[in-house]
């Protein structure tokens, strides 16, 4: 079956294209319109996970404050396209600015942490993420920049040539709401992000990142300017985060510091780890699973109410439990992720002292 698909890549592409094109309508018709919003978030998280994957998966720099760049992108969008400052720039002008600002902050975070590795880097980046959130929480005085914990609302929706991506529109006799339009916008950005992430991985820069991840001293001895190349990884990853932040702000119409807490950083990191670090299909799968799963778990609350009359286990608590369980199971059965890159698989196989073939057959039986 899989072999058959591999022999006809064009067919697979066309089928996938059609599926992606009709997906929101399929979802809306079967699961309800609220799931179209979930689809939008899936795409948003794919962009975020791909960005963090550049820093963590490609260059091997553990970053626990990634959500800070997401926040920066979102706040810049809110500042430049809402009544808060009375500025209303179009989205195509604000989004690149958000990505650039986040990229700049990526370098600002990267520069002082260049000497740090592993756990130490994780702690500092974690602190950076919190600093940005706390700033956003408190910058409502003396000058009201962020409106504090209340956040900024009435953010402009994306509009193209006077056509706003919000509210209801009649298209070909159908009533279509904002999430449907955003789906296609986000899909375009997601596909572009996948394309960029792939191109970067298989390039001179991508090889330099991999070399640094493998052995920084040897990478330097190969003439790689490890400082610049690491900063570049931080900047590129952060730019993806800033872009996603801008998209998020316009989609939600409202942002507050609450949306950018540590849990978000950990969630995005989990997507990468669960799916398969450094491997784009794995990262995408991780983002899909960890976005859809919590939404699906909400039904458990409804079932409890229907069966028992009240909620015994809060689905939100269950979410943590299931996440934990999923991670533990993964560490036992697929330590390199659900769809690992061949390279990651080898790293884990080598560390365990298990022959590669043995490990490969292990994966086959479990898959």
Partner 1 sequence: MLTVRNVSKRFGGLAALEGVSLDVEKGHIYGLIGPNGAGKTTLFNCMTGLYGVTSGEIHLDSAPIHNRKPHHIVHQGFARTFQNIRLFANMTALENVMVGRHPRTHAGVLGAILRGPHTRAEERQIHDRSLELMDFVGLARKGRTLAGHLAYGDQRRLEIARALATEPKLLALDEPVAGMNPTERRQMADLFLRLRETGITLLLIEHDVKLVMGLCDRVAVLDYGRKIAEGAPESVQRDPAVIEAYLGGAE
- Positions in the binding site for partner 1 (CB under 8 A): 195-196, 199-200, 203-208, 210-211, 214-215, 217-226, 232, 236, 343, 346-347, 350
- What is the nearest approach in angstroms of partner 1 to the Cβ of residue 210? 6
- What is the nearest approach in angstroms of partner 1 to the Cβ of residue 91? 21
- What is the nearest approach in angstroms of partner 1 to the Cβ of residue 287? 21
Give, in order, the Cα–Cα distances in Å from 300 to each of 38, 315, 318, 329.
Answer: 17, 6, 9, 21
Token pair 């070909």 is found at 172
Alpha helices of the chain — where are they, by DSSP H? Answer: 2-7, 9-31, 34-53, 67-80, 91-110, 118-138, 178-201, 204-214, 216-221, 226-252, 262-275, 280-308, 315-333, 342-352, 356-366
* Largest pairwise CA distance in the chain: 68
3-state secondary structure of 89: coil
176 strand-pairing partners? 169
- 348: alpha, beta or left, given left = phi > 0 and alpha = psi -120 to 50? alpha
- What is the nearest approach in angstroms of partner 1 to the Cβ of residue 261? 30
Instruction: Give the separation between CA 309 and CA 168, rounded to whole angstroms.
Output: 36
Closer CB to partner 1, 12 or 222, in the complex = 222
Closer CB to partner 1, 86 or 223, in the complex = 223
- What is the nearest approach in angstroms of partner 1 to the Cβ of residue 192? 10
Token pair 């069966």 is found at 307
- What is the nearest approach in angstroms of partner 1 to the Cβ of residue 262? 29
Closer CB to partner 1, 198 or 321, in the complex = 198
Closer CB to partner 1, 218 or 311, in the complex = 218
3-state secondary structure of 160: strand
Spatial CB neighbours of 54, under 8 Å, sequence gap ≥ 6: 197, 200, 209, 233, 236, 237, 240
Closer CB to partner 1, 1 or 217, in the complex = 217
Closer CB to partner 1, 78 or 339, in the complex = 339
């Amino acid at each position: 079956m899989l072999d058959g698909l591999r022999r006809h890549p064009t067919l697979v592409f066309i089928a996938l294209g059609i599926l992606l094109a009709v997906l929101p309508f399929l979802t809306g018709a079967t699961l309800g319109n609220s799931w179209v919003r979930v689809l939008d978030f899936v795409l948003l998280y794919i962009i975020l996970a791909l960005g963090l994957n550049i820093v963590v998966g490609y260059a091997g720099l553990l970053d626990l404050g990634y959500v800070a760049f997401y926040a920066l992108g979102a706040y810049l969008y809110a500042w430049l396209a809402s009544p808060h400052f009375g500025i209303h720039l179009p989205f195509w002008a604000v989004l690149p600015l958000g990505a650039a600002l986040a990229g700049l902050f990526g370098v600002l975070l990267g520069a002082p942490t260049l000497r740090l590795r592993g756990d130490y880097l994780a702690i500092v980046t974690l602190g950076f993420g919190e600093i940005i959130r706390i700033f956003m929480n408190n910058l409502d005085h003396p000058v009201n920049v962020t409106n504090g914990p209340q956040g900024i609302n009435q953010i402009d929706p994306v509009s193209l040539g006077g056509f706003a991506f919000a509210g209801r529109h009649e298209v070909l006799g159908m009533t279509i709401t904002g999430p449907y339009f955003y789906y296609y916008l986000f899909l375009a950005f997601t596909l572009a992000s996948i394309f960029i992430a792939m191109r970067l991985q298989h390039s001179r820069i991508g090889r330099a990142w991999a070399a640094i991840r493998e052995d920084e001293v040897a990478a330097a001895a190969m003439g790689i300017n490890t400082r610049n190349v690491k900063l570049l990884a931080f900047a590129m990853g952060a730019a993806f985060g800033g872009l996603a932040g801008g998209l998020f702000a316009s989609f939600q119409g409202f942002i507050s510091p609450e949306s950018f807490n540590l849990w978000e950083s950990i969630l995005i990191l989990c997507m990468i780890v669960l799916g398969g670090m450094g491997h784009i299909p794995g990262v995408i799968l991780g983002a899909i699973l960890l976005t859809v799963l919590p939404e699906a778990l909400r039904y458990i609350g409804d079932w409890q109410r229907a069966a028992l009359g009240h909620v015994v286990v809060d689905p939100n608590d269950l979410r943590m439990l299931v996440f934990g369980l999923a991670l533990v199971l993964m560490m036992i059965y697929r330590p390199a992720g659900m769809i690992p890159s061949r390279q990651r698989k080898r790293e884990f196989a080598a560390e365990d002292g298990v022959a590669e073939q043995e490990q490969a057959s292990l994966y086959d039986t479990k898959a």
